[in-house]
A = this chain, B = another copy of it.
Amino acid sequence: MAKQISDLKLGILGGGQLGRMLIQEAINYNLTTLVLDPDTDAPCKHLANYFECGSITDFDTVYNFGKKADIITIEIEKVNIEALEQLEKEGKQVFPQSRVIRLIQDKGVQKQFFKENNIPTAPFKLVNTREDIFNCGFAFPYILKQRKDGYDGKGVMKISDVADIDHAFDAPCLIEELIDFEKEVAVIVTRNSKGEMKTFPMVEMEFNAEANLVEFLISPSTYPASLQQRAEKIAMDIAASLNITGILAVEMFVTKNGELLVNELAPRPHNSGHHSIEGNYVSQFAQHLRAIFNLPLGDTRAINNAVMINLLGEKNHDGVAKYQGLEKIMAIDGVYIHLYGKKYTKPFRKMGHVTVVDQNRDGAIEKANYIKNTLKVIS
């Protein structure tokens, strides 16, 4: 019998909450998990079969770690690509493939990929320095994004006038037309090495304006089926063009005239898929494992209406985390708590999430609002 999933060692670069939830699922397949993360207290530390504290951006560290695994995946894009390329050359399976991570790591290259593949996206221009911004030719206001290393709203700013440029990033950036969108939505698509592809139903996101982080996620969307099908088609087109093996989150804007514009990609489990643990037949974590082990993909249909609330550290709280209101929200039916095992909280740090499922969509939203106002992470 060929080697099968239960015989294999999965190496995960990054040991945060995404790795943690991936391991919770990997347990069901007897997978041996190895995790590399620079934080000695990473959320995965006690769950992985083997935990190594080290840099995920250092060639030697990633290469030597990868040698210990059979299949290597990521839970964050900012990893050492050269090490992954070398591991691939030596026959290790790296999913998503290093070339996909390389492309997505650079938001400029990502935008060019959209353009070359006729993927609808906001008009953009690439600049190398702050000086270039002055002459970009875009009308104010517009969005400025660092090409590399931005995440969770970091590395993004709005440029409203010339004065803003003085405080702008002085680094290779992407300038993007500000889209007057109606809603941000996401479609998660998964593809295995056989080329089988499946999308999760489209979800709607609501952002915390101050932190630029997803606050609420509602699944499934109530946009017309035709729009949802277009969104799913875009996600599949991207996954096919990338020839990716693994999961890919595709964030999109719905403009006020019903157009869909791709905002960003994430080639890994993503915040916009957390609801799938309870809200869909297969979770994004289970689906990613199926994809990278080249197993048949699971049923992505929604079981119930689900609303996911990110549990962010309260403002003005910095220190050992305490969870206020946990008992109150556990008294509500259909509430699922996921704490991420982070000892310390700080303002807007992602400390956990809560998913509410309810056969009634409005009921789920109402419960989610109550949870948002009741459950607090303080110090």
A residues sitting closer than 8 Å to B (CB atoms) are 1, 4-6, 20, 24, 27-30, 46-47, 49, 281, 290, 295-296, 298-299, 303-304, 321-324, 326-327, 330-331, 333-341, 357
Contact = CB atoms under 8 A, between A and B. Distances in A.
A281 B323 CA distance: 23
Nearest to A28: B338
Contact of A326 (B4, B326, B340): B4
Contact of A295 (B1, B47, B327, B334): B327
Contact of A27 (B47, B299, B324): B47
7 contacts: A4-B322, A27-B341, A30-B339, A281-B334, A281-B357, A296-B330, A299-B334
Q: What are the 9 tightest A-B residue pairs by CB atom distance, in nearest-first order?
A: A299-B333, A296-B331, A30-B339, A46-B49, A296-B330, A28-B338, A30-B341, A295-B330, A1-B322
A29 B24 CA distance: 13
B28 A330 contact: no
Contacts of A336: 28
Nearest to A341: B30
Given A1-B322, A4-B322, A296 B337 contact: no
A69 to B, nearest CB: 16
Centre residue among A6, A304, A331, A340 by max chain B CB count within 10 A: A6
A46 to B, nearest CB: 5
B4 A296 contact: no
A290 B329 CA distance: 12
B5 A326 contact: yes
Contacts of A340: 30
A225 B47 CA distance: 43
A124 to B, nearest CB: 40
A121 B24 CA distance: 40
A340 to B, nearest CB: 8
A327 B321 CA distance: 42
A323 B4 contact: yes
Contacts of A321: 6
Contacts of A337: 28-29
Contacts of A49: 46
Given A322-B4, A323-B4, A330-B290, A339 B28 contact: yes
Contacts of A6: 321, 323, 326, 339
Nearest to A33: B46
Given A298-B330, A298-B335, 16 more contacts: A4-B326, A5-B326, A6-B339, A20-B27, A24-B24, A27-B47, A28-B339, A30-B340, A30-B341, A46-B49, A295-B326, A296-B330, A296-B331, A298-B333, A299-B334, A303-B303
A371 to B, nearest CB: 14
Contacts of A303: 303-304
A26 to B, nearest CB: 10
B1 A339 contact: no
